[in-house]
């Protein structure tokens, strides 16, 4: 059964609008109540769509005025030519000039200007994208106009040949060449503008998603590696889905407009040749679109799964790369190969299904395209044979017929691309929703929380701590304070909740009850159990997380000496070396680099989760002495008995949430 989440439905449209709109028009604020959010977006979305229509009208009006101007200019430059062969055009332009249309065009441009000025607060800082969009639509019109002109040039060439009229033939060959010289750069500029707007949009949307991903610690809260997570592979969504979203949205939007223009320009020609063919063609296209959408619906969920499975496969490979040494020690190649192969097999199996459905759609598309091929000939040939139309009309009818057919068949012809697009819209829409702070907080059904309060010192008041989404109590009703170098050591058997208490102090976990008081984040530095080495230079490594701080190399040398790593700068020839630090430094060295970060940052509080477990006792002593010298107060988690001599109080945690707090005599 196809997954009902992935159909051509309202949810898809909502996901599309919420992802596409913000680059051009605000959808904020979002974190009000659910109802106002939906209302707000709807009102803004109508305004946004209204503005797009305003742009289209402005561009059409501009193009109209420009066409009239250019035709009159050309007529005054080449009066003979226009008198001979394009007399009809001049009559029509004169007709336009006598009608209210030019005034209407000018009024449309003025009103559009007024509307945009009135929307200044919403689009003021988005003028670049609106200008590019306007330019793009304008170029689209020009390219379309050139197409119509070319169709006439060919008609005149064919007719001139049939009448053996060499002069007119060569005249139009030259005209054709001149139009090409003009048209080619315009087409290239049009394509470039399209790509450029896509690129700018991609950059903006990626930044927009990155902001949300890193704000409110969503990257941590989402837990995207969990087995049953709704939001798998955020990396793929941010990198690949956004790229295809922006590109395809633009392509598709322009294709739709292109189709409308083609319809307008060629359906009139076709209609004048045969009303029945035009009507039949429309019914045929409606039938094709309905079938394509029905069959295509199945493809949306298959494409969705394909994106997920490909991302899983890639992530499997990245994990092997990141954990190469551990795997090599364990000789875990066979198992790793199996897990990667399993992921590959799943992706291939789904792809197999994808190509079966694609073939079914292909069969339909081919039939749909080839059957109507003969129709224009069947209709126009008798007219030609009876001498009612000239020879060139056959080619032009046929051309007009296929232009109209392809414009009406946009969805039918592109259904495969559309289903891929729908899949990535759904992936981005879901991701966007899950990044809303309300949604990831809401998922956790919590009746009570641990509250955090700003304070000069760290203190716990009646804190009961539980793991997220669990009833298990790790620590029950603990109260303590850590101030004025009354350093705290937390001990206990493995799994009793020592690191979890630090997570709660850091604000990562809040399941449970009670109050945690702590200074601002800038005054505390946490060293997690696994030393974290960033991608970057040795200098950035040492300055992390405040990599913008300016410190001299001499100072860095001094710090390295204190943490007993003075050989590092020499070994890597300065502080600008970039290495895969996780691989080139031993665990103990990584722990000392992490310690160096404390010495450089000089926080008021340091929270150390087994931060010296890989060091020898001598190094450990040296580092703790340095902390005391600096005047930093610290909380440590550790198993080693030697640690107690650097602390003044001990919190021992036992299974079942029991604990004991006592002073340490040193
Ligand atoms: N994200 C999580 N969700 C649910 N339970 C978790 C989560 N992370 C850890 N736990 C569980 O919470 C308990 C406490 O974990 P914690 O990491 O605090 O132990 P610890 O006392 O620091 O252990 P160790 O000394 O081995 O590091 C463990 O039983 C662990 O399995």
Q: What is the mean pLDDT of residues 10-38?
A: 72
Q: What are the pLDDT digits (tens) for 229-269?
A: 677 888 888 998 899 899 888 888 888 888 887 787 778 87
The confidence score (pLDDT) of residue 547 equals: 75
**How far, in Å, is the centroid of ligand 1 from the Cα of 37?**
38
Confidence of residue 373 (pLDDT cuts 50, 70, 90): confident
Residue 101's H or E segment, with its range, is helix 101-118
Is the confidence at residue 443, as pLDDT, over 60?
no
Q: What is the mean pLDDT of residues 444-466?
A: 84
**How far, in Å, is the centroid of ligand 1 from the Cα of 522?**
26
The confidence score (pLDDT) of residue 260 equals: 83
Report the nearest atom of ligand 1 relative to the CA of 503. 18
The confidence score (pLDDT) of residue 4 equals: 52
Tokens 């890193």 sit at which residue? 214
Measured between alpha carbons, how far is 256 from 407 in angstroms, rounded to an integer? Answer: 8
**Proportion of the chain in helix, strand, coil states, percent, rounded to 5:** 70, 10, 20
The confidence score (pLDDT) of residue 371 equals: 80
Residue nearest to atom 6 of ligand 1 (CA): 467
Report the nearest atom of ligand 1 relative to the CA of 470. 4
Burial class (CB in 10 A: 0-12, 13-18, 19+), 550: exposed
**Average pLDDT of the chain to the nearest whole number:** 85
The confidence score (pLDDT) of residue 3 equals: 56
**How far, in Å, is the centroid of ligand 1 from the Cα of 646?**
25
Using DSSP bridges, classify how beta strands 536-537 and 451-454 pair: parallel, antiparallel or unpaired: unpaired
**How far, in Å, is the centroid of ligand 1 from the Cα of 428?**
32
Nearest CA among 502, 506, 485, 523 for reference residue 648: 485
Is-contact 619 535, C-beta < 8 A? Answer: no
Report the nearest atom of ligand 1 relative to the CA of 637. 22
The confidence score (pLDDT) of residue 608 equals: 92
Is-contact 540 534, C-beta < 8 A? Answer: yes
The confidence score (pLDDT) of residue 198 equals: 92
Q: What is the mean pLDDT of residues 293-319?
A: 90
**How far, in Å, is the centroid of ligand 1 from the Cα of 377?**
77
Residue nearest to atom 29 of ligand 1 (CA): 495
User: Is the ipTM beyond the 0.90 threshold?
Assistant: yes
Which range of 22-31, 111-120, 408-417 scores highest in mean pLDDT? It is 111-120
Which of 221, 444, 467 to mutate for ligand 1's pocket (most ligand atoms within 8 Å of CB)? 467
> Beta partners for 459?
481, 517
Greater confidence (8 vs 38) lies with: 8
The confidence score (pLDDT) of residue 225 equals: 62
Is the confidence at residue 9, as pLDDT, over 80?
no
Tokens representing 524 are 């505390």
Residue nearest to atom 8 of ligand 1 (CA): 467
Chain centroid offset of residue 73 CA: 47
**How far, in Å, is the centroid of ligand 1 from the Cα of 497?**
6
Q: What are the pLDDT digits (tens) for 281-293?
A: 888 888 888 988 8
Measured between alpha carbons, how far is 284 from 409 in angstroms, rounded to an integer? Answer: 9
Q: What is the mean pLDDT of residues 143-172?
A: 82
Measured between alpha carbons, how far is 197 from 191 in angstroms, rounded to an integer? Answer: 10
Is-contact 515 461, C-beta < 8 A? Answer: yes
Taken in order 219, 224, 230, 235, the sign of the CA dihedral is positive
Measured between alpha carbons, how far is 364 from 290 in angstroms, rounded to an integer? Answer: 12
Greater confidence (583 vs 114) lies with: 114
**How far, in Å, is the centroid of ligand 1 from the Cα of 471?**
14
Q: What is the mean pLDDT of residues 47-68?
A: 91
Q: What is the mean pLDDT of residues 502-506?
A: 91
**How far, in Å, is the centroid of ligand 1 from the Cα of 496?**
7
The confidence score (pLDDT) of residue 41 equals: 55
Output b/e per residue, 505-529; b: 16+ Cβ within 10 A: bbeebbbbbbebbbbeeebbbbbbe
Measured between alpha carbons, how far is 500 from 574 in angstroms, rounded to an integer? Answer: 38
Query: Cβ atoms within 10 A of the Cβ of 49, count?
Result: 13
Greater confidence (484 vs 554) lies with: 554
Greater confidence (380 vs 170) lies with: 170
What domains can you pick out in the chain, each with its CATH number?
10-26+124-438 (1.20.1560.10), 451-663 (3.40.50.300)
**How far, in Å, is the centroid of ligand 1 from the Cα of 641?**
21
Report the nearest atom of ligand 1 relative to the CA of 501. 18
Tokens representing 55 are 């742009």
**Portion of the chain with pLDDT greater than 70, in percent:** 93
Lowest-confidence segment of 87-91, 115-119, 159-163 by average pLDDT: 87-91
Confidence of residue 147 (pLDDT cuts 50, 70, 90): confident
> Beta partners for 478?
463
Is the confidence at residue 31, as pLDDT, over 60?
no
**How far, in Å, is the centroid of ligand 1 from the Cα of 134?**
56
Cis peptide bond N-terminal to 227, omega within 30? no
Measured between alpha carbons, how far is 552 from 576 in angstroms, rounded to an integer? Answer: 13
Residue nearest to atom 7 of ligand 1 (CA): 467
Measured between alpha carbons, how far is 275 from 265 in angstroms, rounded to an integer? Answer: 15
Phi and psi (nearest 5°) for 187?
Answer: -65, -40
The confidence score (pLDDT) of residue 326 equals: 81
Measured between alpha carbons, how far is 149 from 644 in angstroms, rounded to an integer? Answer: 89
Which of 443, 478, 497, 638 to mutate for ligand 1's pocket (most ligand atoms within 8 Å of CB)? 497
Is-contact 299 416, C-beta < 8 A? Answer: yes
**How far, in Å, is the centroid of ligand 1 from the Cα of 498?**
8
The confidence score (pLDDT) of residue 200 equals: 95
Query: Within 13 Å and on the Cβ side, how many CA atoms surround 597?
Result: 29
Lowest-confidence segment of 223-227, 302-306, 613-617 by average pLDDT: 223-227
Is the confidence at residue 310, as pLDDT, over 90?
yes
The confidence score (pLDDT) of residue 441 equals: 55
**How far, in Å, is the centroid of ligand 1 from the Cα of 501?**
10
Which residues are near ligand 1 (CB < 6 Å)?
467-468, 470, 474, 492, 494-500
Residue nearest to atom 27 of ligand 1 (CA): 494
Report the nearest atom of ligand 1 relative to the CA of 653. 21
* DSSP collapsed to 3 states, 388-435: CCCCHHHHHHHHHHHHHHHHHCHHHHCHHHHHHHHHHHHHHHHHHHHH
The confidence score (pLDDT) of residue 84 equals: 65
Report the nearest atom of ligand 1 relative to the CA of 639. 25
Q: What is the mean pLDDT of residues 140-157?
A: 81
Is the confidence at residue 418, as pLDDT, over 50?
yes
Chain centroid offset of residue 52 CA: 22
> Beta partners for 651?
490, 661
Residue nearest to atom 30 of ligand 1 (CA): 495
Is the confidence at residue 170, as pLDDT, over 70?
yes
The confidence score (pLDDT) of residue 650 equals: 93
**How far, in Å, is the centroid of ligand 1 from the Cα of 474?**
9
Greater confidence (7 vs 93) lies with: 93
**How far, in Å, is the centroid of ligand 1 from the Cα of 183?**
67
Q: What are the pLDDT digits (tens) for 96-110?
A: 888 888 999 999 999
Output b/e per residue, 133-160; b: 16+ Cβ within 10 A: bbbbbbbbbbbbbbbeebbbbbbbbbbb
Report the nearest atom of ligand 1 relative to the CA of 529. 27
The confidence score (pLDDT) of residue 354 equals: 92
Confidence of residue 2 (pLDDT cuts 50, 70, 90): very low
Q: What are the pLDDT digits (tens) for 209-218?
A: 999 999 878 8
Q: What are the pLDDT digits (tens) for 185-216?
A: 999 999 999 999 999 999 999 999 999 999 87
What angle, 0 to 180 degrees and rounded to 10, lies between the N-to-C axes of helices 34-77 and 127-162? 40
**Portion of the chain with pLDDT greater than 90, in percent:** 28
* DSSP collapsed to 3 states, 470-537: CCCCCEEEEEEEECCCCCEEEEECCCCCHHHHHHHHHCCCCEEEEEEEECCHHHEEEECCCCCCCCEE
Which range of 62-71, 222-231, 274-283 scores highest in mean pLDDT? It is 62-71
Terminal CA-CA length for the chain: 70
Greater confidence (248 vs 144) lies with: 248
Q: Which are the contacts of 353, defined by CB distance < 8 A and separation ≥ 6? A: 302
Q: How does DSSP assign 444-465, residue by residue? A: S--S-B-EEEE-SSEEEEEEEE
**How far, in Å, is the centroid of ligand 1 from the Cα of 202?**
39
Confidence of residue 35 (pLDDT cuts 50, 70, 90): very low
Phi and psi (nearest 5°) for 578?
Answer: -115, 125
């Amino acid at each position: 059964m196809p997954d009902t989440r992935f159909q051509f439905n309202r949810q898809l449209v909502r996901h599309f609008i919420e992802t596409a709109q913000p680059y051009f028009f605000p959808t904020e604020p979002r974190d009000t109540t659910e109802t106002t959010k939906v209302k707000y977006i709807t009102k803004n979305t109508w305004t946004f769509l209204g503005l797009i229509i305003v742009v289209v009208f402005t561009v059409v009006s501009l193009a109209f005025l420009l066409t009239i101007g250019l035709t009159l200019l050309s007529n005054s430059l080449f009066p003979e030519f226009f008198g001979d062969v394009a007399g009809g055009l001049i009559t029509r332009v004169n007709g336009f000039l006598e009608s209210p249309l030019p005034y209407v065009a000018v009024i449309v441009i003025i009103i559009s200007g007024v509307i945009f000025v009135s929307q200044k607060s919403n689009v003021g800082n988005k003028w670049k994208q609106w200008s590019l969009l306007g330019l793009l639509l304008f170029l689209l019109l020009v390219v379309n106009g050139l197409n119509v002109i070319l169709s006439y040039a060919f008609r005149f060439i064919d007719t001139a040949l049939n009448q053996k009229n060499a002069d007119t033939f060569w005249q139009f060959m030259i005209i054709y060449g001149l139009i090409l010289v003009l048209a080619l750069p315009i087409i290239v500029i049009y394509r470039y503008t399209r790509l450029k707007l896509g690129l700018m949009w991609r950059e903006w949307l990626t930044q927009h998603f990155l902001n949300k991903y890193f704000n409110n610690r969503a990257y941590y809260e989402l837990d995207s590696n969990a087995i049953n997570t709704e939001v798998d592979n955020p990396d793929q969504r941010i990198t690949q889905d956004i790229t295809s979203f922006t590109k395809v949205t633009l392509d598709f939007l322009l294709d739709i407009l292109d189709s409308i223009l083609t319809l307008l320009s060629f359906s009139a020609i076709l209609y004048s040749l045969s009303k029945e063919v035009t009507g039949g063609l429309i019914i045929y296209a409606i039938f094709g679109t309905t079938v394509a959408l029905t069959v295509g619906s199945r493809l949306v969920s298959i494409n969705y799964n394909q994106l997920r499975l490909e991302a899983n496969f890639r992530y499997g490979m990245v994990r092997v790369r990141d954990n190469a040494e551990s795997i090599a020690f364990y000789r875990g190649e066979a198992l790793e190969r199996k897990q990667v192969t399993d992921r590959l097999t799943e992706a291939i199996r789904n792809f197999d299904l994808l190509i079966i459905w694609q073939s079914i759609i292909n069969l339909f598309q081919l039939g749909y395209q080839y059957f109507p091929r003969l129709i224009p000939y069947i209709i126009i040939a008798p007219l030609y044979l009876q001498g009612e139309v000239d020879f060139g009309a056959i080619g032009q009818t046929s051309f007009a017929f296929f232009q109209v057919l392809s414009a009406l068949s946009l969805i039918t012809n592109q259904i495969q691309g559309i289903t891929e697009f729908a899949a990535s819209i759904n992936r981005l829409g879901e991701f966007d929703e899950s990044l809303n702070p309300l949604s990831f907080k809401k998922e956790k059904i919590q009746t009570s929380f641990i509250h955090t309060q700003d304070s000069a010192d760290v203190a716990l008041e009646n804190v009961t701590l539980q793991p997220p989404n669990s009833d298990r109590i790790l620590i029950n009703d603990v109260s303590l304070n850590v101030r004025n170098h009354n350093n705290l050591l937390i001990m206990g058997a493995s799994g009793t909740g020592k690191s979890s208490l630090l997570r709660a102090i850091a604000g990562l976990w809040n399941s449970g009850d009670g109050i945690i008081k702590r200074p601002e984040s800038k005054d505390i530095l946490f060293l997690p159990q696994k030393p974290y080495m960033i991608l970057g230079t040795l200098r950035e490594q040492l300055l992390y997380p405040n990599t913008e701080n300016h410190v001299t190399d001499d100072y860095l040398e001094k710090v390295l000496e204190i943490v007993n790593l003075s050989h590092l700068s020499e070994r890597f020839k300065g502080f600008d070396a970039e290495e895969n630090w996780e691989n080139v430094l031993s665990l103990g060295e990584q722990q000392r680099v992490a310690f160096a970060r404390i010495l450089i940052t000089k926080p008021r509080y340091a929270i150390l989760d087994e931060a010296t477990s890989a060091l020898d006792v001598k190094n450990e002593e040296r580092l703790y002495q340095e902390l005391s010298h600096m005047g930093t107060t610290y909380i440590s988690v550790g198993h080693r008995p030697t640690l107690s001599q650097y602390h003044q109080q001990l919190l021992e945690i036992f299974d079942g949430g029991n604990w004991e707090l006592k002073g340490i005599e040193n």
